[in-house]
Amino acid sequence: MRNACSIFIISIAAISCLDAARAETSLSGTGSAFAAAIYTRWAQEAKPSLGVQVNYQATGSGVGQKQAAAGTVDFGASDVAMEAKRIEEADLLQFPTVVGGLDVIVNIPGVGPNALKLDGPVIADIYLGAITRWNDPRIVALNHGLALPDLLIIPIHHSNASGTTFALSRYLSKVSEAWKTRMGVALTLEWPSGVGVHGSAGTAGEVPRTLGSIGYAENSYVTTNHLAPAKLLNRAGKYVAPSEESFAAAAANADWAAADNFAVDLTNMPGEKSWPLVTATFVLAPKAPAKAERTAALLKFFDWAFAHGDKAAKALQYVPLPHAVKDQIRAAWRQKAAFRSARD
């Protein structure tokens, strides 16, 4: 007979099958730069009580999906939900961990944080090359009373396979027909102009160095580096600033239970306070029997994070998942992560 830990359904109760002698389990994860700050913080805070070391590398959502599917890491992380067919083929479990916002940041002389107002079509046309200077009449019309210089706009974009790029392109495809037709939605795009950098960290470094630039980055990089985000016009016709409140307002409108594998789209959500550039970030974990103990340790770590990690998430400008959603995820662990029986 197989022992009690060889065939089981991953659940918080089943995690107790882990032997105390394996308390120093070391887990590897890679992917989303958006999620790097919170996974690193949770790893530091959880280790003393769990004895689980989580080593995470921010390589981009595309790499996270690829390596999770290949089974070369204990978990992949992606700001883009993986397609259901690929999840099934790779035998993975997908669930969200936190929600956060993406900021549009600028480097314009005399323009501080949240002083500039932009809308989706203008952002799209800047990146498409149709708007090239900061005193363009369309930008001026959105910013009555703000002095905008006759300065060349330098668009900064992500050169890697980026979930942040995916979220931006998904949003712009909803509000700009020109963007939808020419660029579409993808992790990587054929940018018509501008400067490519690696992820939000690259953007946070390049925009302050480049006069006249515009870029997009995960909110924690913006606040940590004291950069200048713009206000955006949301679906309700209100200009809002990026904040925990505006990110949470967008997330509150999501139908998490109805989304297959929790694959919610949080861009351009309704609500007067909603920030239009919001995304969830996802974990992709293997269900294969050979990975049973390591996946159990991984879920033990994320269960700890759901129970004890909200304070850290808020401190890093993320929005914790609602308690009801956390319970739905735990139920999915029990329901969907059944290990195969001996006949498999």
pLDDT score, position 161: 85
Radius of gyration of the chain (CA): 21
The CATH number that domain 14-98+280-336 falls under is: 3.40.190.10
pLDDT in tens, 120-175: 999 999 999 999 999 999 999 999 999 999 999 999 999 988 889 999 999 999 99
The domain defined by 102-262 carries CATH number 3.40.50.300: no
pLDDT score, position 311: 97
| Contact present, 312 and 45 (Cβ < 8 Å) | yes
Counting as low any pLDDT under 70, the low residues of the chain are 1-24, 336-344
pLDDT score, position 33: 87
pLDDT score, position 335: 77
For the chain, residues classed under CATH 3.40.190.10 are 14-98+280-336, 102-262
pLDDT score, position 255: 84
The closest alpha carbon to 47, from 315, 335, 305, 330, belongs to 305
Q: Which residues are within 8 A (CB) of 192 and not within 5 positions of it... i.e. 6 or more apart?
A: 127, 128, 129
pLDDT score, position 334: 84
| Contact present, 305 and 43 (Cβ < 8 Å) | no
pLDDT score, position 336: 58
pLDDT score, position 287: 87
pLDDT score, position 4: 39
In 3-state terms the chain splits into helix, strand, coil percentages (rounded to 5) of: 40, 20, 40
Instruction: Tell whether the torsion through CA atoms of 163, 164, 165 and 170 is positive or negative.
Output: positive
| Residue 52 in tokens | 């689980």
Alpha-carbon distance 108 to 112, whole Å? 8
